[in-house]
């Protein structure tokens, strides 16, 4: 917070022409109505970035001070200051009838001479006036992102509040000749980041991978890994796990689809979503067991079904899943979506 005690020095009015963003004067017992998209509301939380307290506020009128500036403060990597302007029409008492006179408040970028040539800053900001009686803040904003550059270094509200409304003691904005303003500044930094989602292909039913596991023995081998098969230039594998450690009745066959270890699909840079179909074939009756799934795939993490088939049913010769000592598995990737991040300059 900065505290300002006005001196008797008279500041010249600004030479810049500012945009009109304010509203007409209002009755003293209610906030001025919004116009031109200006929204006025109240809240309990103080301004997050900067508070500008002015003591001996009436001295500004007595000495006809037209412009009062805060010190510099930093937000978003830039230096800023608040600029308060008074339109008194020659009246030297804040508490007299000012008619349609207003105060203006602006956010100004400071030290612009230290910025790089062609600099530009896009900002959304909110102004605050502290109600010292009700212990809350009047918030004034229009929700528009303003573009600061060499030819426009200040933005704000020409008609922030009518002077009669500000000076009414019952409104609480001036207490013990002290007035408090505040600001929140949100700098819009363009990262150039984005994502592109594309459907790579929808595959026909004939496009599938057949995996025949010879010398299949669930009591001996715990895990099986298929050889690599290609889908849209990426290397895939099937992984089959057997969880029947103590006895056949205790476990299930698990079946997963995963990338080959040579694939490097890094999370946060590129993601792949696949809809897939897995099947264990019944070579006797044709009652094949199949499941479908869909997942975002990351590196070599497999996704599928941990309880695809019970080992009891797997080893039941009447089910036809194991013929001789061979197990037949099929996989079909129905379609793929690829999401890639990009960075624009």
In tens, the pLDDT along 106-119 reads 999 998 888 888 89
Q: Is the pLDDT reported for residue 20 higher than 50?
A: no
Q: Which residues of 210-221 are buried (b: 16+ CB within 10 A; e: fewer)?
A: ebebeebebeee
CATH 2.60.210.10 in the chain, residues?
2-188, 195-343
Cβ atoms 24, 165 nearer than 8 A:
no
pLDDT in tens, 233-272: 788 999 998 864 444 446 888 999 998 877 765 544 567 8
Distance CA 137, CA 180 (A): 10
pLDDT given at position 247: 45
175 secondary structure, DSSP code: B
Q: Which residues of 58-85 are buried (b: 16+ CB within 10 A; e: fewer)?
A: bbbbeeebbbbbbebbebeebbbbbbbb
Greater confidence, 62 or 328?
Answer: 328
Of the candidates 105, 102, 101, the one whose C-alpha atom is nearest the C-alpha of residue 154 is: 105
Q: How many CB atoms lie within 10 A of CB 253?
A: 25
Distance CA 26, CA 161 (A): 9
Distance CA 47, CA 184 (A): 6
- Burial grade of 198 (CB within 10 A; 0-12, 13-18, 19 or more): exposed
Whole-model pTM? 0.54
Residues 6+ apart with CB under 8 A from 339: 195, 196, 197, 270, 271, 272, 273
Listed ranges 128-137, 300-309, 319-328; the one with the highest mean pLDDT: 128-137
Distance CA 53, CA 71 (A): 11
Q: Is the pLDDT reported for residue 211 higher than 50?
A: yes
Q: Which CATH class is domain 2-188?
A: mainly beta
Listed ranges 84-93, 178-187, 298-307, 314-323; the one with the highest mean pLDDT: 178-187
pLDDT given at position 76: 93
Minimum mean pLDDT range among 99-108, 127-136, 153-162: 99-108
Q: Identify the band that residue 177 occupies on the pLDDT scale cut at 50, 70 and 90.
A: very high
The architecture that CATH gives domain 195-343 is Sandwich (2.60)
């Amino acid at each position: 917070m900065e505290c300002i005690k006005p001196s008797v020095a008279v500041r010249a009015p600004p030479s810049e022409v500012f945009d009109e963003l304010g509203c007409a004067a209002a009755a003293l017992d209610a906030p001025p109505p919004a116009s031109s998209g200006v929204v006025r509301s109240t809240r309990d939380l103080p301004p997050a970035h900067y508070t500008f307290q002015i003591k001996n506020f009436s001295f500004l009128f007595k000495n006809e001070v037209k412009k009062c500036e805060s010190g510099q403060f930093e937000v978003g990597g830039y230096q800023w200051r608040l600029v308060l302007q008074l339109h008194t029409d020659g009246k030297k008492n804040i508490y007299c009838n000012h008619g349609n006179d207003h105060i203006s408040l602006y956010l100004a970028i400071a030290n612009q001479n230290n910025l790089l040539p062609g600099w530009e800053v896009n900002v959304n900001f909110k102004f605050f006036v502290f109600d010292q009686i009700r212990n809350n803040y009047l918030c004034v904003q229009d929700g528009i992102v303003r573009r600061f550059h060499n030819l426009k270094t200040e933005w704000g509200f020409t008609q922030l509040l009518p002077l009669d409304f500000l000076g009414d003691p019952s409104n609480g904005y001036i207490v013990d000749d002290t007035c408090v303003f505040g600001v929140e500044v949100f700098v819009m930094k363009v990262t150039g980041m984005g994502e592109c989602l594309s459907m790579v292909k929808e595959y026909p039913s004939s496009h599938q991978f057949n995996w025949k596991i010879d010398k299949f023995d669930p009591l001996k081998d715990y895990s099986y890994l298929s050889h690599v098969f290609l889908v849209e230039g990426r290397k895939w594998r099937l992984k089959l796990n057997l969880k029947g450690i103590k006895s056949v009745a205790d476990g299930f066959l698990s079946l997963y689809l995963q990338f080959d270890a040579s694939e490097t699909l890094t999370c946060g840079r590129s993601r792949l979503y696949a809809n897939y179909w897995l099947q264990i074939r019944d070579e006797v009756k044709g009652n094949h067991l199949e499941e479908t799934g869909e997942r975002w795939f990351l590196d070599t993490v497999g996704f599928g079904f941990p309880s695809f088939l019970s080992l009891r049913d797997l080893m039941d010769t009447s089910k036809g899943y194991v013929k001789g000592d061979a197990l037949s598995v099929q996989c079909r990737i129905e379609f793929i979506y690829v999401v890639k991040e990009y960075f624009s300059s």
